[in-house]
Structure 1
Amino acid sequence: MVPHLTTALSGPINELEQRVLESMPAIERWFRLEWMEHTPPFYCSVDIRNAGFKLAPVDTNLFPGGWNHLTPEMLPLAVQAAMAAIEKICPEAKNLLIIPENDTGNTFYLSNIAQLERIFHMAGLNVRVGSVNPDIKEPTRIDIPGGETLCLEPVVRGKYRLGLKDFDPCTILLNNDLSAGPPGILEELHEQYLLPPLHAGWTVRRKSRHFQSYEEVAKRFGKMLGIDPWLINPMFNTCGEVDMSQDEGMECLRTNVDALLGRVRKKYKEYGINEKPFVIVKADNGSYGMGIVTVRDVRDLERLLPALQERANRPGGQAARGVIIQEGVLTNERMHQAVAEPVVYMMDRYVVGGFYRVHAERGVDENLNAPGAGFVPLAFAESTRLPQPGQKPGASAPNRFYMYGVIARLAMLAASYELEATDPEAEIYD
């Protein structure tokens, strides 16, 4: 089912879809050449928003949860991608250790871990789940939704290796975004593969660096396709010295919010878009600290400052000193009368599935990743429904989902650029 696109300004998106479908061989060759030069993240998910006049990624997660929302029909693709990813990294792999977040009370998150365990078991690995939570001192079984149980075991650290009692993995899969910093127990593992690497965590990672890389990718892709890269790229500014908890750097924030709103207005005028531009202000280093705030006018900042300061003072996580000001992208898709945005899941360089995140209580210009959100599977894994170039744009679910997969892979490619630039073992550290 193609969600209803509630906008009359669907011309640019239909034209983009047509261009993408017509250029499919060139696009796939372009990606193949890129992956010859760059290593994709082990896995990731990408939040995409379709405004009807613009289609762009708004967030890329390198430690994706939510695997439990992938349907059984999607699992064969995920298993094949897992096989390809493991074979590339460690062909002789036998044992895999998954390290989850420390929150053992979130059973829906633990269902995501159980799904990952299932995927890699079917890919031919012995899989166990090891916790770095100091409260886990012995094997602990936790009931999770669906009548299953998940066993968390305390990790055991040797001089150069991490494992469990009587379980020595060659590969360790992190499903923990390291927002509170990397535990020392994960450092200096010289004889094991740690995926993703520690520098993918929020101690090092910055959203602004990712979207700087994405802007570069979008420009090159847009040139190949002959399109304005703005149609697939959210513009952004940054303020590195902002500290909301101390009311520092507010002038920088005002200046950059105003400047970005002006750039968006100019683009809206160019395309004849009669919508009110907005920007999203959020922490540059992950989800902790300052929350996500929608700003439509620079004067809104004064009214929003108390809320920003309150969020900046929340305990836990890295201090949110820097902020990213990102062009707001409307989501004009509806499913079951609720606002919807696609989330695309990838492993290695392959799209393996995804879902629509829907929220009946949120608006088209608000963050949907909030309590009350629901999830409706995408149809990526229906093998008989490949892209159909002859179909009218906007009429075919496989065509729209193929377009979403292209945008998601562009974001994944940007993440590979980003990780190369921040790799502490690279010859040049940017």
Structure 2
Amino acid sequence: MAPLPQETIRHKRDGGELAPAAIAAFVEGLSTGRIGEGQIGAFAMAVFLKGMTRAETVALTLALRDSGDVLDWSGLDRPVVDKHSTGGIGDNVSLMLAPLVAACGGAVPMISGRGLGHTGGTLDKLEAIPGYDVSPDPGVLTRLVSTVGCAIVAPTGRLAPADGRLYAVRDVTATVESVPLIVSSILSKKLAAGLGALVLDVKTGSGAFMAREADARALAASLVEVANGAGLRTSALLTRMDEALASAAGNALEVANAVRFLSGAHRDARLERVTLALAGQMLVSAGLAQAPAQAERMAREALVSGRALERFSAMVAGLGGPADFVERADAYLPAAPLVRDVPAPRSGTVVAVDARALGLAVVALGGGRTRPQDGIDPAVGLDRLAEIGREVTRGEPIARVHAARETQAEAALASVAAAYRIAEGTVARADPVVDRIG
């Protein structure tokens, strides 16, 4: 007989290790509504304070996965692989990565999310494309992944639904930062997506949720251990988010940046490094290459040849977007009525950037949410962001603000200027890929 919910809470509160059956019963209560929000909050706080062993976290992840549907890709003749990022500023990697891996023979059913806090969301970016449907019928998703090789879509309500209820309570009980709960939340949805392999992009730096490298490294290690313990072949890259990854931050602006990246019109160096490194790791994990260096060469060839751009175009059209979107992206994407340069307050070298402040500036412009129910303006944001190491002269633009109203533009100008630290001398550019884990 399954233990009562309050006994499960009591055992964890007192520092005990929960049996898989007790965890499964508690999650079943989440799914059926038998367990109330008070008990969910108490459970989350007990886990926050006492932690979970690897075995407990694996059990929680599998129970959350099994609370809903699990996608089945067994009929595909391609290996199924995906990527998950812990979030950042100007992080539009998914838009290029999915078609890149598809062009190299992988199948990428990329289940993505919306913006959270100061970070942007892949679904919000794609919805800047007229007609793009992030919630297609299951048959459309299956057809696209089978034919094009990739589809970037929203999770359905039937993928790990118990996690949705648990997360909603965590969000209002100051328990979001619990590593076991973060890990089980992320991985339960990825396991439910029916993947054969997963690569994680765990961010560290001023724009990351885990700003300290030690914290990000611990999260990456826990994710990799639990995912592999749950039967999903997983590895991670630890990458820097101490400045915007792309030179643009904002939904339509990041889509435009992605199209220029795929077409070869413009590629930000740090963005290219991280994108190709993740593509290489995904191809190795999927068994499509033997080593990261070989895999990155494959990905670069798919990029330079235009095959990745073709996959992106087919994905957009297959999900309801314009068939000629990549040829006429600027005509289709919304544009803000006000565009203002941010002048450098002094001459010197950009030595540091507060990436989180840039993300908050985009949110204040209307490009993100302060509440889940808020709408967003896809046109606003920042672009032409100066990178660390660039020499500037006083008055030279270090960024551009795209705004809907003059008051918002003025506030963003001040916020962006304050986010940049400019000093005399030079600064060494660090590799944005810090480490590989797993």
TM-score over 0.5 for the pair: no
Greater share of residues in strand: 1
Greater helix share, structure number: 2
Query: Which TM-score tier does this pair reach, normalised by the shorter chain?
Result: under 0.3
The higher-RCO structure (CA 8 Å, 6+ apart) is 1
TM-score scaled to structure 2, two decimals? 0.26
TM-score normalised by structure 1 residue count: 0.26
